[in-house]
Amino acid sequence: MAYSLRYDIYFYKPLQKMFSRVIPYDYHRQLAEIGVKGVNEKVIELVKQEHPKYVLCLATRYEFLPSTFDMIRKEGSIVIKWFFDDEHRFDDYSKWWVPHLDYCVTHDIEALPKYRALGARVIHAFPCEGIPINRDWSNIEEKYDVSFVGKKPLPGREQYINEIRKRSIPVHVFGDGWGRYLPFEEMIDICRTTKINLHFSRVVGSTRLGLKGRISIVCLAGGFLLAEYVPGIEKYFEIDREIVCFKNVEEMIDKINYYLNHDEERQAIAQAGWKRAINEYTPFHMLSRVFGEIEKGVVVNGKETHPQELKIPRRIRNLSSHYHFQWGKIFLEANHKGLWKDALALSLSYNPFNMGAWYYHVIGFFPPFIRTPLFKLYNAYRAAVKVYMRLRHKLLCWADSIPYLRDVKRNVVRRFS
């Protein structure tokens, strides 16, 4: 199992309860030590030595190569890739891996028919994160009236929080962008000791709403959850009995005020949500359901899958090229022996016209004392490009505000496209 972040809690430990042997491979640490090429070679070597039945990949970028998955499948292992944020990543990331996998797992219900259209075996998993807390419901500790834990720079979140503050309702916010990052254990404690835990369902990089792991985190901790409504949530929790939902600012404010003034009703809902979560929505339950479906599919349909091959467009190849170029850039600037060559070679294999990769590839053959000013020259060039792009964006926005110029721009785009 290749993993990162707190997946030791969400995946590794639950899998240990399900299987006699689970071998973790922390590729995040290894990337900085042996590079992408080294990580992929190490995983293939590990599979050849251990002969696992399943290989579960939780990578979120381009840490693994498609050829690595192909090689693992030839060794007889079943390759499963767990995809996150398919609400906005399916077209640019997830779909291109399908031909190299046996099973895909997604949290996005709407992505299921898209995967199946490509010939993929896909399983939907309700995101179960957090850890079940054994609560004493006769002695409930509450430190905060309202709290929100999560990243600030997502659509609508700051506006919601500002509206709460305008009504003089005390709200505590934590996470990236709010000024205070929380360790995992403290996050769980805040969920447990808050009267009303807010959850906003907007997805990173998208205007869509999605089912997120914060729902189960709050409920497993025994917290009362007031969540932005997302279609399908009623399949997992009974609304107004186990959790409470809102659809707009005014409804959110009304429900905050109501449940702050109705302690017994609020605590009863929190307890019902907690009971539902610890019985159905722990990470162990989630993984048991997923591997239950996989086992059933292997028995009924066999292991082999034959998804259609996809011709990867240049735009998608550029994303992989840029990822490997960034590693090559880091390795060369840190004078990391040899690894920069592998990373830049990978970058150019995806896009032979990546000028940044070529530039750093040439720099690599110069002595270290000559490289430094050349690095600075490239960074100055990139800074100038960013300024140009910002000015270009502003100019195009200005042109769109003038009907005549807007029509000229559309005609030019239509002709050249």
* Residues 365 and 374 sit within 8 Å (Cβ to Cβ): no
What the chain holds in terms of domains, given with CATH numbers, is 7-126+284-301 (3.40.50), 144-281 (3.40.50.2000), 314-416 (no CATH)
In terms of DSSP bridges, do strands 144-149 and 122-124 run parallel, antiparallel, or are they unpaired?
unpaired
pLDDT digits (tens, 9 = 90+) for 299-329: 556 555 667 778 999 999 999 999 999 999 9
CB neighbour list of residue 180: distance below 8 Å, 6 or more residues apart: 174
Sign of the Cα torsion 192, 197, 200, 201 reads: positive
DSSP state of 12: I
pTM for the full predicted model? 0.86
Q: How many other C-beta atoms are found inside a 10 Å radius of the C-beta of residue 407?
A: 11
Mean pLDDT computed over 365-372: 89
Q: So what's the pLDDT on residue 2? A: 45
Q: How far is CA 17 from CA 80, 220, 350, in A?
A: 19, 19, 40
DSSP state of 259: H
Q: So what's the pLDDT on residue 416? A: 56
DSSP SS3 for 374: helix
Mean pLDDT computed over 229-250: 95
- Sequence length of the chain is 417
- Both structure tokens of 202: 């907007």
Q: Is the pLDDT of residue 4 over 50?
A: no
pLDDT digits (tens, 9 = 90+) for 373-412: 998 988 888 788 788 788 877 777 777 777 776 777 677 6
CA-CA distance, 26 to 342, in Å (whole number)?
20
pLDDT digits (tens, 9 = 90+) for 343-362: 999 999 999 999 999 999 99
Side by side, the strands of the sheet bearing 103-106 are: 54-57, 78-83, 103-106, 122-124
Q: So what's the pLDDT on residue 323? A: 96
Burial (CB count within 10 angstroms: exposed 0-12, middle 13-18, buried 19+), residue 326: middle
- Both structure tokens of 142: 């509450």
